[in-house]
Amino acid sequence: MVTIRVPLVEQRDASYDILIGSGLVPQLDTILKQYCPAAAYAIISDSQVAKLYGEDLLKRLSASGYRAQLLTFPAGEWNKTRDTWAALSDQMLAAHFGRDCAVIAVGGGVVNDVAGFVAATYLRGVPLVQVPTSLLAMIDSSIGGKTGVDVPAGKNLLGAFHQPRVVVADPELLGSLSSVQLAAGLAEAVKHGVIADADYFAFLEREYAAIFAKHAPALERVVRRSVEIKAEVVAQDEREKGKRAILNFGHTVGHAIEATSKYEVMHGEAVAIGMVYEGRAAPSARRTSRWQPGGRSDRGDARGQEGPGGRDPAGPAARHRHSPR
C-alpha cells in the first residue's frame, strides 16, 4: 500500500461586516462596489419581497451599469426545498452566470437560506450578499453562514456553511412587514435575551409596545443588540462544534412543531412555543445530567432552586432576568 498525504491546512479570513442603518438599501450599488465587486449579480428573492424591493433594486443596479438579473420563487417556508434550489441554479446556468458573479439574497429567512445555498453550490461556490428584509432575517438568519433547504425528513437537513461577504440590514424595510411576522421575528430576539443578555430581555419586555408600533429607535436597538449577540456567538464557534448550539434554544421542539404543522406555524412562532417547552424541561434535564453513578445525585439541590412545586412558575426567562450576566 502507498499512502500519499495531501497536506492542506485551511487558513482563511471569512470575517465580514454587518451594516445596519436606515436608508442603506438604496445605496447598495456603492456598497457592492466596496464589499463585493462582481461581473454580474443574481438577485434572488421571493414573490412577495421581489415586488416590494427586488424589482426596484434591479432597476437601480441596472441603472448604475451593473449586469443584474432578478430570480424569484413563490414565498413561503414550504418552498424552501431542493426543487426551488434546483430551479434557481438552473436559471443562473441558463443565464450564463460565471464564477465571477455574486448572489444577492433579498428577503426573509427562507430567501436567506435558499439563496445562500445556491451561492454555496453554484459552480462550487460564489460570493453572497445578504439583504435581510424580515426582522427574523435581520437579527438571525442572515448572519452566521448557515444555508440550506428543508427535506421530507426534516428542516434544514441539506445545506452548507457559506459566509456572506457583507450583510446589509436596513430597518426601514420593516415598515411593510406585518405585525404577525414582526412578532415571529421577535421570538429570536427574546431567545437572544434569554441566552445572553438579561438587560436586553428586560428592554424587550418593557418596550414591546414601541417595538410593535415600529418606533425607529426601539426597532433599531433590537436589530443592533441581537446582531451583536449572534455575531459574538458565531465568532466563537463558526461551525457549531459547541457554543453555537446555544442559539438552538427553542429550536428542537420548534422544528418539530413547524414540520408537523406542515409549516402552517411560522418559524418564529414555533420557536416561541419551543422556548416555553424547552425552558420547562430544563430543570429536569439539569437534574438528569447531574446524576452521578453510585446512587448519588443532587436532585435535592435542584428542587431547592425551583421552589416547592419543583418547577419555577415564572419560567426560565424570568429566572435569567434576575441572574447575574
Ligand X SMILES: NC(=O)c1ccc[n+]([C@@H]2O[C@H](COP(=O)([O-])OP(=O)(O)OC[C@H]3O[C@@H](n4cnc5c(N)ncnc54)[C@H](O)[C@@H]3O)[C@@H](O)[C@H]2O)c1
CB of 114 to ligand X, least distance (A): 9
Query: HEC profile for the chain?
Result: CCCCCCCCCCCCCCCCEEEECCCCHHHHHHHHHHHCCCCEEEEEEEHHHHHHHHHHHHHHHHHCCCCEEEEEECCCHHHCCHHHHHHHHHHHHHCCCCCCEEEEEEECHHHHHHHHHHHHHHHHCCCEEEEECCHHHHHHHCCCCEEEEEECCEEEEEEEECCCCEEEECHHHHHHCCHHHHHHHHHHHHHHHHHHCHHHHHHHHHCHHHHHCCCHHHHHHHHHHHHHHHHHHHHHCCCCCCHHHHHHCCHHHHHHHHHHCCCCCCHHHHHHHHHHHHHHHHHHHHHHHHCCCCCCCCHHHHHHHHCCCCCCCCHHHHHHHCCCC
CB of 162 to ligand X, least distance (A): 10
Judged by beta carbon, residue 251 or residue 287, the one nearer ligand X is: 251
CB of 307 to ligand X, least distance (A): 33
Which residue of this chain has its Cβ atom nearest to ligand X in the complex? 109
Judged by beta carbon, residue 237 or residue 306, the one nearer ligand X is: 237
Residues forming contacts to ligand X in the complex (CB under 6 A) are 46, 48-49, 52, 75, 77, 80, 107-111, 113, 133-134, 136-137, 140-141, 144, 146, 156, 173-174, 176-177, 181, 184, 266-268
Judged by beta carbon, residue 102 or residue 114, the one nearer ligand X is: 114
CB of 322 to ligand X, least distance (A): 28
CB of 174 to ligand X, least distance (A): 6
Judged by beta carbon, residue 184 or residue 189, the one nearer ligand X is: 184
Judged by beta carbon, residue 89 or residue 147, the one nearer ligand X is: 147
Q: What are phi and psi of 295, to 5 degrees?
A: 90, -5
Catalytic residues: 124, 146, 188, 230, 240, 244, 248, 251, 255, 267
